[in-house]
């Protein structure tokens, strides 16, 4: 290897990351920049919703039924109020409703992704590192689960929960149940990928060295193998986030997700559907549009990330 002339003064860490291949690809991809920007805006917008939303749409005390069904931008014929994105049948401001709805959708999405990630990565590491029967069992279960649609698995878990949890506590449990159901339906991809990477890393010398020294397997897995495996995991997590958000929306739309008292975008769409055909299109359109833009932005980001981290395409 020809030695390049060493720089006088090492570049700062930030500089190195900024000039790395991944960031180069980012800076030169308008799609990545736009989708990252949009994602960030929406996520921040959702998190900070309580600070600037014109109204808390789910506090009944702030609602006035007479405000209901006002078109966007037009003044209400009874109260004279105008709503940026219109109001629904209860007089809720759609803009606020969408903001809060996005918050819930993202909350469920992110939490479930975290859940599947933890389970999937752990099982993947175990399968790859320990091998043998453990690996065979874990991989088989993962394979089978991957061929069943996530919706089905999530619905099943819901169904069982409905039967087991007494009705009084069901509404409160929904949030946790959703996270559990969606999380459990999506771990397999992480496990597969992580197992593959673990198998590769396991045979490298630094792992052998650690074993010779006598480090515990858990430590080796977490400290040595895990960092090398995080690249593909990040890609999966990003794409999975979009999937989780959509899955949650679907479940809510089907009626088994978030209730109208604490709605996610999916619930809002479900409620809005009734009004679509009677002419109040805004109750459906804005939550739907938000959902699609959110999912699209995250997906695009994930797609770009996958191409940027793919060694073969460089």
Between the CA of residue 209 and those of 67, 126, 202, 227, 267, what are the distances in Å? 71, 19, 11, 17, 54
Give 214 or 311: the residue with its C-beta nearer to another protein.
311
User: Rounded to 5, what percent of the chain is helix, strand, coil?
Assistant: 75, 0, 25
3-state secondary structure of 75: strand
Give 49 or 291: the residue with its C-beta nearer to another protein.
291
How many CA within 13 A on the CB side of residue 29? 19
Cβ–Cβ < 8 Å for 125, 221: yes
Does 147 help bind another protein (rule: CB under 8 A)? yes
- Which of residues 11, 54, 149, 260 is near another protein by CB under 8 A? 149
Alpha helices (H) in 28-168, listed in sequence order: 30-47, 49-52, 94-130, 132-147, 150-164
Between the CA of residue 124 and those of 127, 150, 225, 250, 304, what are the distances in Å? 5, 19, 11, 28, 24
Between the CA of residue 140 and those of 45, 111, 136, what are the distances in Å? 41, 26, 6
- Which of residues 84, 296, 306, 309 is near another protein by CB under 8 A? 296
Give 52 or 277: the residue with its C-beta nearer to another protein.
277
Segment contacting another protein (CB under 8 A): 45-53, 110-118, 204-212, 287-295? 287-295
3-state secondary structure of 192: helix
Does 22 help bind another protein (rule: CB under 8 A)? no
The least distance separating another protein from the CB of residue 6, rounded to whole angstroms, comes to 14
Binders of another protein among 251-270, rule CB under 8 A? 253-256, 266, 269
Does 18 help bind another protein (rule: CB under 8 A)? no
The least distance separating another protein from the CB of residue 289, rounded to whole angstroms, comes to 10
Does 219 help bind another protein (rule: CB under 8 A)? no
The binding site for another protein (CB under 8 A) comprises 1-2, 4, 24, 144, 147-149, 151-152, 155-156, 158-160, 162-164, 242, 246, 249-250, 253-256, 266, 269, 273, 276-277, 284, 288, 291-292, 295-296, 299-300, 303
């Amino acid at each position: 290897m020809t030695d390049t002339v060493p720089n006088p003064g090492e570049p700062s860490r930030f500089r190195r990351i900024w000039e790395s291949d991944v960031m180069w690809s980012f800076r030169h991809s308008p799609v990545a920049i736009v989708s990252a920007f949009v994602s960030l805006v929406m996520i921040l917008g959702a998190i900070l919703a309580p600070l600037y939303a014109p109204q808390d749409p789910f506090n009944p005390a702030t609602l006035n039924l007479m405000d209901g069904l006002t078109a966007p931008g037009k003044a209400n014929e009874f109260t004279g109020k105008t709503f940026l994105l219109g109001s629904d049948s209860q007089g809720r401001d759609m803009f606020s409703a969408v903001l809060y709805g996005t918050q819930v959708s993202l909350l469920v999405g992110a939490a479930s992704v975290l859940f599947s990630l933890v389970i999937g990565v752990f099982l993947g590491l175990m399968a790859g590192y320990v091998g043998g029967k453990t690996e065979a069992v874990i991989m088989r279960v993962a394979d089978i689960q991957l061929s069943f649609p996530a919706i089905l698995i999530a619905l099943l878990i819901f169904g069982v929960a409905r039967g087991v949890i007494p009705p009084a506590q069901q509404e409160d449990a929904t949030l946790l149940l959703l996270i559990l159901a969606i999380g459990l339906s999506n771990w397999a991809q992480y496990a597969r990928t992580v197992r593959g990477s673990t198998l590769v890393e396991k045979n490298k010398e630094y792992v052998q060295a650690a074993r010779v020294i006598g480090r515990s397997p858990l430590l080796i897995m977490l400290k040595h193998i895990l960092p090398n495996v995080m690249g593909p995991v990040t890609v999966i997590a990003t794409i999975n986030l979009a999937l989780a958000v959509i899955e949650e929306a679907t479940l809510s739309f089907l009626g088994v997700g978030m209730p109208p008292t604490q709605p996610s975008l999916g619930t809002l769409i479900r409620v809005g559907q009734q009004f679509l055909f009677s002419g109040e299109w805004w109750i459906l359109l804005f939550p739907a549009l938000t959902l699609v833009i959110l999912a699209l932005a995250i997906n695009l980001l994930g797609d770009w990330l996958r191409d940027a981290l793919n060694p073969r395409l460089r």
